[in-house]
Structure 1
């Protein structure tokens, strides 16, 4: 089942996206998709009789105002090699955070700020936490997933190097990344699927990134286990699981995003997240 948050006119709502691209409002069940996850309502959805065409609504990030947006860095084996620093694969995941307003929805532009010309793309598979918890065992981790969505974890490359020990600045410019177009509920997947999912990023139709979760260093179950050691994971928390090699910074010369570019991130079984690029109006 595909569940989306959207705006229609001045109203924000959420609902089911049907196979024939209709939107069925579920806001009577809970005010937001996040609230429905918190209330364990996803298996008991009764949409209203109101039906809209998908083309009539503006899609928002599926989870609005998540408490935590947790990102895993350098999680594909060939991505570690891409750094060319002769380092071994890490023993533990690299972790950083994003803020909700650093992300926009499907078909909205990623914003290039005037402070940088180095806006880059990073296509990622995203876990949405359903059942929260601490110290979650790997064997139980999949039971804690509400669904999957997609992130373009847009990055200002020069700003991730402003400080010695963190990347926060370059990861949190307003609307520099995106999330969506919807969340596909976890009942559409099984452990074998999680362990061999394909993610592909295209810029203007050209494939720049393509890999499978069979090649990630830290699988989804381990990520949930590891993060729950120190975080209290909560329903609606978002975990971006890392990006394959092929980001624009890794080309010679680099191939950063410019206004007019179209970036598509496709995840098998989830969909395609699409965004243009625009300069910030100041």
Structure 2
């Protein structure tokens, strides 16, 4: 099943989306993430009547507003090498705010303090069960599904200090989507293990990697995080980016107003976002 988030009035909803773009409502986002497995099974047995959204402005991130968004840095050897960093002994985990998440088609503003933004195409995992102190095998059983993510970064602020938080949380810098593919549609929670991750800027391929190149597997990442902080349904784990980011190039290359960046992953689709100037910030 392919899931998406949309708004109806003041409520955020989760629905199943088909190839024609029709959405079958499942439940409000808050209701859905209280018991995803049961509601998915009900939706499969007795689907509601499909609806057609008027346009993309009705889309919302497919996770609750309370979601933790945790990202893993330096999780591909090629990326660690191009950044002149040693291969980490443990997952390098940092946080994003849910408020930075945006959907397919939404513009990303470049902060006035930055020469541009950097791209990081990634596979993201959506949690479907509460995970506390779990093994790697148990962690995989708690995966709801997978989606594309772009961990867009403000490098000047990121590298001002040893703390990455500000550089990883510019306004509207976390594209996610275009849909969440449930784990069963990928053949189970191990379906992530051989998926191409491609990033394009204005149609040019700037990153081309494969999830098989990850240093830490999805199970390892989730297990490691769960030993310190509880993962709950709707939390997002971005699993790292392959080689090819902009700041390591000579000269550095960044996303500037007028650019369009895309992240494509086998079996999920393409996440596409235009870049605008600082005047486009909220």
What TM-score results when the alignment is normalised by the length of structure 2?
0.91
- From 263, 266, 273, give the equivalent of 1:265: 263
1:84-95 mapped onto 2 (5 Å cutoff)? 84-85=84-85, 87=86, 89-95=87-93
Where 1:211 maps in the other structure, the secondary structure is strand
Q: Deviations over 1:71-128 (max 9, x none)?
A: 000000111111235x3x2110101000011221110011111121231111110001
Structure 1 104/53 Cα, relative in aligned 2: closer, same or farther at 3 Å? closer
2:73 counterpart of 1:73: yes
State the Cα RMSD in Å: 1.9
| Aligned residue number for residue 142 of structure 1 | 140
Which residue of the partner structure matches residue 244 of structure 1?
242
Distance 1:224 1:54 in 2: 37
Partner of 1:210: 208
Q: Give yes or no for contact 2:33–2:64 (8 Å, CA) kept in 1.
A: no
Q: Aligned partners of 2:245, 2:111: CA distance in 1, in Å?
A: 19
**Counterpart among 38, 44, 64 of residue 34 in structure 2:** 38
5+ residue gaps, structure 2: none
Compared CA separation, residues 192 and 233, structure 1 to 2 (3 A): closer
Judging changes above 3 Å, is the alpha-carbon distance between structure 1 residues 75 and 225 closer, same or farther for their aligned structure 2 residues? same
Aligned pairs for 1:81-160 within 5 A: 81-85=81-85, 87=86, 89-160=87-158
Checking the alignment, whether the CA contact within 8 Å between 1:62 and 1:181 is kept in structure 2 is no
Counterparts of 1:101 and 1:191, CA distance in 2: 27
What's the offset of the Cα at 1:47?
4.2
Are 1:61 and 1:182, in contact at CA under 8 Å, matched by a contact in 2?
no
Q: Is the 8 A contact 1:210 1:244 kept in 2?
A: yes
- Contact kept, 8 Å, 2:131 with 2:139, in 1: the verdict is no
Instruction: Name whichever of 73-82 and 62-71 sits farther off.
Output: 62-71
Q: Provide the secondary structure at the position in 1 that maps to 2:42.
A: coil
Task: Report how many residues are paired.
Answer: 275
> 1:172 Cα deviation (Å)?
0.7
> In the TM superposition, what are the counterparts of 1:163-202 in structure 2 within 5 Å?
163-164=161-162, 166-189=163-186, 190=188, 192-202=190-200
Give the whole-Å Cα distance in 2 for the aligned partners of 1:75 and 1:12.
32
5+ long unaligned stretches in structure 1: none
Match of 1:3 in 2: 3
Q: Report if aligned partners of 1:8, 1:57 keep a CA contact under 8 Å in 2.
A: no
